[in-house]
Structure 1
Amino acid sequence: MSLTSDPPIDPPVEPPADPPAAKEAPRGAGPDELTVVPVRHPWRWVAIAATAVLLAQFLNGLITNPGWEWDVFAQFFTAPTILKAVWITLQLTFYGTAIGFALGIVLAFMRLSASGFLRTVAYGYIWAFRSIPLIVQLLFWFNLAYLYKELTFGIPFGPAFFAFETMNLVGAMSAAVLGLALHQAAYAAEIVRGGVLAVGSGQLEAAAALGIHKFRQLRRIVLPQAMRSILPNAANEIISLFKGTSIVSVMAIGELFYQVQVVYGRNGRVVPLLMVATVWYILLTTALSVLQHYVERHYAKGAVR
């Protein structure tokens, strides 16, 4: 008989002792124990109070001062002659803007052309029309019949096919539109050129590498991005043109400012009639600014939230 011994039993493994508790970090003072001192701006409140007092004084004088003659203002604000003058002002602004920016776009791309001759011609036009005062340009166009008795069409430096006199060709309204448009084109050209240059050249290189035609590059890549830079400056120019139409009063065109002058020349109510013109200019400029906002928001899609 053999004796067998049971395998040795390992002693029970005691679980490791819990690590000593970490010492709690000292806690900072609670929010209730902090003293919050607000930033004080005493001079800001002084400026606000002073501005409010001045504004209140101005409004009080505007309402209570009898020199403004608000009854006369209300009488002429919607008078037929004034409304007709507002319409003429809007026409001058529209035609001057449309023709000016159409020509300005052509001049802008002439300045961006690889042809040195085209760049020089465009630069010369912009230099000349920005250098000559607008009133001088208007008077030159108004006196076109004095400078050129007739215009001929035919072979350059050769025989003419037909000719016509210029006496009745350019009237006061036509001269005003022509002068405003040609003057506006010089500024519009630089606005458009600046917007096009703001578009990165790498995008055009990528489009050319993909075989996209240049006209499509311009229409789908350059112009949508350039409009974001063009629009603010273009809107400023349009508003300036709208207010600048008052200069055509030197040619006795019945736009808003000229008609106001005629009316207060008859009745002697200078201040209320000037306020009529002022309020109309403010209203129409505000409408143009609202239109600018929506057009800018349209072209900002994908660029800003």
Structure 2
Amino acid sequence: MQPPAGSVSLNSLTDEQLAGAKLHPRGRPGTWVAACVVTLVALQVVYSMVNNSAFGWDVVGKYLFSPQVLTGLATTILLTIASMTLASILGVVIAVSVVSRNPVLSTVAKGYIWFFRSIPLLVQIIFCYNFAALYPKILLGIPFLKTFYEVDTNQVITTLSASLIALSLNESAFMAEIVRSGLASIDHGQREAARVLGMSSWVTFRRIIMPQAMRVIIPPMGNDTIAMLKYTSLVSVIALPELLYSTQLISSRTFEVIPMLIVASVWYFVVTTILMFVQSKIETRFSRSVAT
């Protein structure tokens, strides 16, 4: 078969001409058809939501910035930040203990991770809130010898502290696995090189190992932070007035259930978007040393 008139055979082109040739992507009409269908469906969904009075958009606008909702939002954000901070610190300690050569520390750390990853978070929250049923008083002192201080458990385990403890302990088990995977990604030769240079174990961990491990740790840690934001809604079971519980209190008074759920969803969406943006910036910061 003869090539069409005006065409050029690939065999007649030099390597330089082939390297400098401009490639034109092959047309894909199927993708444009799919895009049109998806666009029409999305527009139909948006149109139905806007024109459906059952959504109660006027009620959503009325309560979106109400003081009660904003107070619940602040509680949710503070609980997320505090829980993730404590969980991150505890997770690093547990992860280091897991890889420790000390069999006692390693076994206890692995048992801790196994325990808190096995029990549902909701159960842990309720358990922490009812901790006084097991130990009416919290004692501080030398084990089996002397007690220096004791306090009523109900004075310490409030709805806020129970939520913070449960969220932090549960998340620390998952954070420990994230940190452990980050530490395992660093070549062992870097530790040996740091030891040859006379660096202590702590300096090596702080200046060599951890900065490189953060590239592996940040993405799942960011995902866990976003998940923690939504996990805080579980503490509504013990009547802590976070975002979801605050909207539920309003809906129980006004009987506007759907609009108040939309109010909570809008704020979750806004805060999640901000967290995703911050995560992206942090990932970029720790990936600067990686060649692209």
TM-score, L = length of structure 2: 0.90
Describe the superposition over 1:115-146 as per-residue Cα deviations: whole angstroms up to 9, x where unpaired: 11111000000000000111111111111111
Report how many aligned residue pairs link the two structures.
278
Structure 1 residues 300 and 38, CA, compared in 2 at 3 Å: closer, same or farther? closer
Structure 1 residues 262 and 37, CA, compared in 2 at 3 Å: closer, same or farther? closer
Provide the C-alpha distance between the structure 2 equivalents of 1:210 and 1:189, rounded to a whole number of angstroms: 29
Provide the C-alpha distance between the structure 2 equivalents of 1:165 and 1:244, rounded to a whole number of angstroms: 28
Corresponding residue to 1:54 among 25, 34, 41: 41
Structure 1 residues 282 and 160, CA, compared in 2 at 3 Å: closer, same or farther? same
Q: Does 1:263 align with 2:235?
A: no
Corresponding residue to 1:234 among 204, 209, 221: 221
Structure number with higher helix proportion: 2
Structure 1 unmatched ranges of 5 or more: 1-28
**Aligned residue in 1 for 2:106:** 119
Provide the C-alpha distance between the structure 1 equivalents of 2:210 and 2:246, rounded to a whole number of angstroms: 40
3-state secondary structure, aligned to 1:113: coil
Structure 1 residues 38 and 183, CA, compared in 2 at 3 Å: closer, same or farther? closer
**Aligned residue in 2 for 1:299:** 286
Provide the C-alpha distance between the structure 1 equivalents of 2:243 and 2:196, rounded to a whole number of angstroms: 54
Return the letter of the residue paired with 1:173.
L
Corresponding residue to 2:268 among 268, 275, 281: 281
Corresponding residue to 2:26 among 29, 35, 39: 39
Structure 2 unmatched ranges of 5 or more: 10-22
Structure 1 residues 37 and 93, CA, compared in 2 at 3 Å: closer, same or farther? closer
Provide the C-alpha distance between the structure 2 equivalents of 1:221 and 1:31, rounded to a whole number of angstroms: 64
Corresponding residue to 2:118 among 125, 131, 134: 131
TM-score, L = length of structure 1: 0.86
CA RMSD of aligned residues (A): 2.1
Provide the C-alpha distance between the structure 1 equivalents of 2:106 and 2:264, rounded to a whole number of angstroms: 42
Shift, 1:32, TM fit: 5.0
3-state secondary structure, aligned to 1:40: coil
Q: Does 1:161 align with 2:148?
A: yes
3-state secondary structure, aligned to 2:157: coil
3-state secondary structure, aligned to 2:154: coil
Higher alpha-carbon Rg: 1
Provide the C-alpha distance between the structure 2 equivalents of 1:177 and 1:158, rounded to a whole number of angstroms: 31
Spell out the pairing of 1:36-185 with structure 2 (5 A cutoff): 39-185=26-172
Provide the C-alpha distance between the structure 2 equivalents of 1:47 and 1:166, rounded to a whole number of angstroms: 60
Describe the superposition over 1:1-28 as per-residue Cα deviations: whole angstroms up to 9, x where unpaired: xxxxxxxxxxxxxxxxxxxxxxxxxxxx
